[in-house]
Chains A and B, each alone.
Chain A
Amino acid sequence: MNSSAPGRQLSSVERVALKRESRRNILLCTPAMIVLFFAASGPLLVMLVYSFLTPGDYGGVVYKLSSDGWFRVFFHQDIFDETVSVASAHLSIFWRSIKLSLLTTIAALILGFPTAYFIATRPVKSRNFWLFLVTIPFWTNLLIRTFAIMELIRNRGLVNNVLMKFGVIEQPIQMLYTDFAIMLGMTYVYLPLMILPLYASMEKLDFRLIEAGYDLYANRFRVLRKVIIPLVKPGIVAGSILVFIPSLGAFVTPRVLGGGKNMMLGNLIELQFGQGRNWPLGAALSISLLLIVMVAMLLYVKNMQKNKGEQN
């Protein structure tokens, strides 16, 4: 690796070799890039254009520029007297999505923190096994996991049946098709995304620092608050963002567990391409969602970089 020492001028032979290598690399990546452009990034650009077109009568668009789609994200125009008011239905769905995602994140943190700590304090040999147990549900079908929750909490499901059998309740509790159901479902499906980054930072915990805390007469709670939590903060931030992002864009879980009324952003977007028949509005809503997610993603990257900087 001496040849790449910084500051040394490259000989012309080396420069040619380097150029050839980077050409080879780019050629190798080209096929993947073409497919990804065609079926991932390109369509996003097309959608951006669509958000500025005029909606067609039966779905689709008319190729005429219009700001109607974006206008309707925030405002509602009455069809009879054309008065403009704030689109409270849309804004309340935005708000519900953010609220439910935050609640999901908090619930996942409360459950995930002790679990990650538990795994990190197991003997080194058995840790992999526990991690494997966390990963398995993550790689199984999200729809099936949501379905499993649905079957548990429905009116004649196991939870209500058991509660009624023991006389805790007389009538089944309506849990399915509520905001609680959505939150429970999202916590369930995204929990591994909280545990894994938390574990990654807890694994590096220096227990001598914790011991020092106890030596200085701190009790367990104080050690947790003043030593452990500050040390694993990067893991807390990373896990929270990793749970928050997919929750915000969730589609399957609110559709199955929320029923028709309790919509989240993903379902509002779907509506515009189905019964709503307003593709530009749907496109504008999708891009709004993407923007919120990108802000969260930037925070995540910043957190990772800061974390790396502190380690070096």
Chain B
Amino acid sequence: MLPKKRFSVRRLPGFAVIAIACFTLLYAPIMILVVYSFNAGSSIAVWEGFSWQWYSAAWDNEMVQSATFNSLVIAIQASLYATVLATMAALGTTRTKPYRGQTAIYTMINQPLMVPEIVTAVALLICFAVIKQLTDYQGLMYLVIAHTAFCIPFAYLPIRARLEGMDRALETAAADLYATPWRSFRQVTLPLMWPGILAGSMLAFVISLDDVVITEFVKSAGQDTLPTYMLGQLRRVITPEMHAISTVLLVVSVVIVSVIFILNRSKN
């Protein structure tokens, strides 16, 4: 007879297999995309040797250049504004006695997370169409404002989490030592909440950089960002340039999310 395995209370047969399959499913499609972005041939099914050619093709594509520029201009501005606004809002909603209107403020902040993106996108299209007609302004500011709004909750959550874990005693001590409120904020509160602000701003940056739906509806002609450019291309003939662009965007997201993860861990 075979030696019987020790009975484990925690084990359920087959679960580990499904879990491994699940992780494979999560990663295999992206990995294949990344690997084939280095393919010398133009197929995603046949490997024809290593090459950087699709990266240089994407780099030389003027459409891609302008989309990258737009993406960066919007993401940098939106994440900056959203972080400032979210930091202020976090200071105004944490470590305080409950006050009237606080629930309304929470609802407002979380709204972009709750309303389906397509609904917000269409609503913004309607509103901005009216404003465009009235003011004749066609620039990138519409996209920056729209991105700022939906980035606020993503910037807010890590900042608030950080603030909630902070002790009031240090600020009280600063006040006891005759620091003005501004000075105690600058020299005590701000340095302490800095990891939260950093994490929040990076998250906002990634979210803005990756947005498709709202950008697709708000943009005017010639304002493609990388994701909306890709969405347009997917309807036509797909070139392996798409794989190269995808890989770059993936790497940016993964690096930033990893840094946030490490920032959060060093806190504990």
Is A276 an interface residue when CB atoms closer than 8 A count as contact?
no
C-alpha gap A26/B101 in the complex (Å): 8
Q: Across the interface, which residues of B come within 8 angstroms of A249, CB to CB?
A: 116-119
Partner of A158 from B7, B10, B44, B100 at Cβ < 8 Å: B44
List A contacts of B237 (CB < 8 A). Answer: none
Instruction: Please tell me if B45 contacts chain A, counting CB pairs below 8 Å.
Output: yes
Interface residue stretch chosen among A64-72, A80-88, A109-117, A232-240: A109-117
Q: Does B105 contact A (CB under 8 A)?
A: yes
Question: Please, how many residues of chain A have a CB less than 8 angstroms from a CB on the other chain?
Answer: 92
Contact with A along B30-47 (1 / 0, CB 8 A): 101100100000011110
Task: Say if the beta carbon of B198 comes within 8 Å of chain A.
Answer: no
Inter-chain contact A32/B89, CB cutoff 8 Å: yes
Stretch in B51-59, B61-69, B209-217 with 4+ CB within 8 Å of A: B209-217
Q: How far is the CB of B182 from chain A (nearest CB, A)?
A: 13
Chain B neighbourhood of A22, CB < 8 A: 96-97, 99-100
A104 beta carbon closer than 8 Å to chain B: no
At the interface, yes or no: B93 with Cβ under 8 Å from chain A? yes
The 6 tightest CB contacts between A and B, nearest first, are: A249-B116, A28-B92, A118-B19, A43-B123, A39-B149, A148-B29
Q: Of A39, A114, A211, A286, which one neighbours B148 at CB under 8 angstroms? A: A39
Q: Which of B105, B114, B123, B257 contacts A47 (CB 8 A)?
A: B123
Which residues of A have CB within 8 Å of B29?
145, 148-149, 151-152, 188
- B230:A147 contact, CB within 8 angstroms: yes
Q: Which chain A residues numbered 249 to 308 have a C-beta less than 8 Å away from chain B?
A: 249, 251-252, 255-256, 265-266, 269-270, 273, 279, 282-283, 286-287, 289-290, 293, 297
Residues of B within 8 A of A62 (CB): none
Nearest chain A CB to B268's CB is how many angstroms away? 10
Q: Which residue of A lies closest to B253 (CB)?
A: A140
Q: Which of A32, A134, A150 has the most CB of B within 10 A?
A: A32
Do A36 and B97 form a contact, CB below 8 Å, given A115-B22, A210-B9? no
Beta-carbon contact of A269 and B89 below 8 Å: no
Residue from A137, A161, A255, A256 within 8 A of B30 (CB atoms)? A137
Q: Is the CB of A142 within 8 A of B118?
A: no
Which residues of A, 21-40, contact B by the 8 Å Cβ criterion?
A: 21-22, 24-29, 31-33, 35-40
Chain A positions within 8 Å of B, measured between CB atoms, are 4, 18, 21-22, 24-29, 31-33, 35-44, 46-47, 50, 60, 111-112, 114-115, 117-119, 121, 128, 132-137, 139-145, 147-152, 156-158, 160-161, 188, 191-192, 195, 207, 210-211, 214, 220, 224, 245-246, 248-249, 251-252, 255-256, 265-266, 269-270, 273, 279, 282-283, 286-287, 289-290, 293, 297
Query: Do the beta carbons of B148 and A297 come within 8 Å of each other?
Result: no
The reply to whether the CB of B170 lies closer than 8 angstroms to some CB of chain A is no
Distance to closest chain A CB from B152 (angstroms): 6
The minimal Cβ–Cβ distance linking B130 to chain A, given in whole angstroms, is: 8
Contact of A114 among B15, B124, B149, B253 (CB under 8 A): B15
* Interface presence of B173 (CB below 8 A): no
**Measured between C-beta atoms, what is the minimum distance from A113 to chain B in Å?**
8
Interchain nearest-CB distance for B82 vs A (Å): 8
Residues of A within 8 A of B118 (CB): 249, 251, 265-266, 269-270, 286, 289
Q: B179 within 8 Å of A by Cβ?
A: no
In whole Å, how far is A116's beta carbon from the nearest beta carbon of chain B?
8
**Complex partner residue of A148 from B33, B127, B217, CB under 8 angstroms:** B33
Is B254 interfacial (CB 8 A cutoff)? yes
Complex Cα distance, B97 from A137, in Å, reads 38
**What residues of A have a CB within 8 angstroms of the CB of B10 in the complex?**
121, 207, 210
B125 touches A32 (CB 8 A): no
Chain B neighbourhood of A148, CB < 8 A: 29-30, 32-33, 246
Complex Cα gap A273–B126 (Å): 9
Q: Tell me whether A44 and B120 are in contact (CB under 8 A).
A: yes
Whether A21 and B22, one on each chain, are in contact in the complex, defined by CB atoms closer than 8 angstroms, is no
Residue of B at shortest CB range from A164?
B45
B115 interface neighbour in A133, A210, A251, A293, Cβ under 8 Å: A293
